[in-house]
Amino acid sequence: MITLSNVSKIYKSKLKNSAQIKAVDNIELQVAQGEIFGIIGYSGAGKSTLIRMLNGLETPSAGTISVAGREISKIKGAELRKARQEISMIFQHFNLLWSRTVRENISFPLEIAGVSKLERQNRVDELIKLVGLEGREDAYPSQLSGGQKQRVGIARALANNPKVLLCDEATSALDPQTTDSILDLLQDINTRLGLTIVLITHEMHVIRKICHRVAVMENGKVVEMGNVLDVFKRPQAQITKRFVQQVTEPEETKETIEHLLENYPNGKVIQLSFVGDSAEQPLITQLIRTFNLEVNILQGKISQTQSGSYGTLFIHLDGSEAEMDKALEYIKASHVGVEVIENA
């Protein structure tokens, strides 16, 4: 559905002799039909520029971009405008027209597409139902909450039956609960309409919750890409590890562990990572039954991703060295990640 090859975007600095800024650096990626593809990175990583190149709001300095069968990086004028009706976008700050009601805002892209008044009315009614805004049709954006505004944004984006939906930090201005309800809505739209979704974010939570695949961006480059679960399981780049920690480890984990190491001078503190099916086997029970060890559960968390669950568990083992080593071997053999936490 979307193919980027060797895409770069270079901003020339006005100052003489100063270095050019490579916002996007030689990116190569494909997004399949019906996929929810997430791009994560900190601000300034180039993800905003990248997503804007997908609907021609920015043009690449090099490389080609094709979306829904059109070469976006080449077309101009009327053809580009036509293409944009198939590649909708929602925004962090919603970007609704304050002078129009909910109904009129949703109707706007239909007016642009030249849809007749009667058809517009019917379509708007459908969309209002789809995003759950019944009863708020005649409100102005200033009378809506953030979550409701984003629902209008989504309804507006879906009006012309697009093939691709681009989400530019669509949940970054919302509180956690509203974020989840908007993500549920996006996922629902994805499964019901088979819409391809590309989203950019700086929150791993968003990736974890709805994305099938993820690309991690840093300094204009994609440093890591793959299925969300794989990336969670085996983050390679340093930045990816930090993002994964955002969801798997609560903020205070580091302090907690140091505290634990002080409290348990004997034995070992071990971090187990479970992925997919392995999260569902009774590992701890087997450990206790098979080995002559004391097992103490210290802290744990399970996160649900689109392709399975991912969990971390901190346990404390106590017993003879030999028995503990055997236990570690056993855990490794059952496809569970093991990391012995040493004193820092």
Partner 1 sequence: MLKTLFPNVIWDTIYEATLETLYMTAISVLATFFLGIILGLLLFLTGKGNLWENKIIHTIISAFVNIFRSIPFIILIVLLIPFTMAIMQTMIGANAALPALIIGAAPFYARMVEIALREIDKGVIEAAKSMGAKVSTIIFKVLIPESLPALVSGITVTAIALVGYTAMAGVVGAGGLGNLAYLEGFQRSQNDVTFIATIIVLIIVFIIQFIGDFITSKLDKR
Q: Which residues bind partner 1 (CB under 8 A)?
A: 55, 57, 80-85, 87-89, 91, 93, 95-100, 108-109, 111-113, 140-142, 156, 160, 166
In the bound state with partner 1, the residue whose beta carbon lies nearer, of 47 and 208, is 47
In the bound state with partner 1, the residue whose beta carbon lies nearer, of 82 and 335, is 82
In the bound state with partner 1, the residue whose beta carbon lies nearer, of 138 and 258, is 138
How far apart are CB 140 and partner 1 at their closest, in Å?
4
Residues 214, 109, 171: CA angle, nearest 5 degrees: 35
How far apart are CB 143 and partner 1 at their closest, in Å?
9
- In DSSP terms, 316 is beta-bridged to 269, 296
How far apart are CB 95 and partner 1 at their closest, in Å?
4
In the bound state with partner 1, the residue whose beta carbon lies nearer, of 17 and 99, is 99
In the bound state with partner 1, the residue whose beta carbon lies nearer, of 62 and 97, is 97
How far apart are CB 91 and partner 1 at their closest, in Å?
6
How far apart are CB 128 and partner 1 at their closest, in Å?
18
In the bound state with partner 1, the residue whose beta carbon lies nearer, of 49 and 273, is 49
Q: Is 299 strand, coil or helix?
A: strand
Nearest to 200 by CA among 167, 223, 153, 239: 167
Helices (H), 44-196: 47-53, 77-84, 102-112, 117-130, 146-158, 176-193
How far apart are CB 129 and partner 1 at their closest, in Å?
21
In the bound state with partner 1, the residue whose beta carbon lies nearer, of 72 and 327, is 72
In the bound state with partner 1, the residue whose beta carbon lies nearer, of 38 and 56, is 56
- 306, 212 contact by CB (below 8 A): yes
Phi, psi of 245 (to 5 degrees): -60, -30
Q: Which parts of 261-306 are beta strand (E)?
A: 268-275, 294-305
How far apart are CB 85 and partner 1 at their closest, in Å?
5
Burial letters for 153-170: b for 16+ Cβ neighbours within 10 Å, e otherwise?
A: bbbbbbbbebbbbbbbbb
How far apart are CB 284 and partner 1 at their closest, in Å?
51
Residues 211, 150, 58: CA angle, nearest 5 degrees: 70
Measure CA 159 to chain center: 24
In the bound state with partner 1, the residue whose beta carbon lies nearer, of 163 and 268, is 163
Phi, psi of 327 (to 5 degrees): -60, -40
Question: Cβ–Cβ contacts within 10 Å for residue 147, how many?
Answer: 17
Measure CA 183 to chain center: 10
In degrees to the nearest 10, what's the CA dihedral of 285, 290, 293, 298?
A: -20
Q: Is 118 strand, coil or helix?
A: helix
- 239, 70 contact by CB (below 8 A): no
How far apart are CB 142 and partner 1 at their closest, in Å?
5
Question: Cβ–Cβ contacts within 10 Å for residue 273, how many?
Answer: 19
- 304, 284 contact by CB (below 8 A): no
